[in-house]
């Protein structure tokens, strides 16, 4: 692999590669977010687990039945704090992907915390798109929020 999944303008070896290999720690919340996205694209769930805060860290079992996802790209929309000298940070992003030929996206606002010099993913909130009044979504159709669930089991009210 030469191009980094988190940003096609960067080489993997100079971008996320050293973080996934454990050679360096991500210095900011955004860089941790980017490296976690890259880990998901490579099915490197060990990195995802290691960079999750211990209070809500997933286990290997949580990824055992993972559906095959083709990751299409990452857009960082906003950051708040999360710099090298901060202890907390927030990153808003959209991760685009495809499952069984259907294109979707995950729009999330993630919280990060820095402890003993290392950034960890703490948790995240899905950002649901505003419902356009002129667009009718059937209860059994896929939810427009990109969750992959049927509308009636997700954002239907």
Does position 25 have pLDDT exceeding 90, yes or no? yes
| 35-62 residue pLDDT tens | 999 999 999 999 999 999 999 998 888 8
Task: Look up the pTM and report it.
Answer: 0.79
- pLDDT score recorded for residue 156: 58
Does position 33 have pLDDT exceeding 50, yes or no? yes
Nearest to 97, CA basis, from 51, 141, 41: 41
Residue 133: pLDDT band (50, 70, 90) is: very low
Mean pLDDT of the chain: 87
Q: Residue 153 and residue 141: Cα distance in Å, rounded?
A: 10
| 80-101 residue pLDDT tens | 999 999 999 999 999 999 988 8
- Residue carrying the six token digits 């919280």: 111
What is the average per-residue pLDDT within 3-8? Answer: 94
Q: Residue 76 and residue 15: Cα distance in Å, rounded?
A: 15
Domain residue spans of the chain: 3-126, 129-157
| 107-123 residue pLDDT tens | 999 999 999 999 999 99
- pLDDT score recorded for residue 60: 85
- pLDDT score recorded for residue 137: 67
Give how far Cα 29 sits from Cα of 58, 104, 109, Å: 19, 24, 12
Number of alpha helices (DSSP H) and beta strands (DSSP E) in the chain: 3, 6
- Residue carrying the six token digits 């927030």: 90
Does position 66 have pLDDT exceeding 80, yes or no? no
Could you please state the CATH topology (level 3) that the domain comprising 3-126 is classified under: Nuclear Transport Factor 2; Chain: A, (3.10.450)
What is the average per-residue pLDDT within 19-44? Answer: 96
């Amino acid at each position: 692999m030469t191009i980094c999944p988190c940003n096609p303008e960067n080489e993997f070896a100079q971008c996320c590669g050293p973080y996934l290999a454990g050679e360096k720690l991500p210095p900011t919340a955004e860089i941790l977010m980017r490296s976690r996205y890259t880990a998901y694209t490579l099915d490197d769930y060990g990195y995802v687990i290691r960079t999750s805060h211990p209070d809500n860290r997933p286990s290997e079992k949580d990824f055992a039945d993972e559906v095959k996802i083709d990751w299409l790209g990452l857009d960082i929309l906003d950051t708040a704090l999360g710099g090298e000298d901060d202890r907390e940070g927030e990153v808003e992003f959209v991760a685009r992907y495809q499952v069984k030929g259907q294109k979707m996206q995950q729009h999330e606002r993630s919280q990060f915390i820095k402890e003993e010099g290392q950034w960890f993913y703490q948790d995240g909130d899905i950002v649901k798109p505003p419902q356009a009044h002129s667009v009718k979504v059937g209860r059994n159709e896929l939810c427009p929020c990109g969750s992959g669930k049927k509308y009636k089991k997700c954002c239907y009210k």
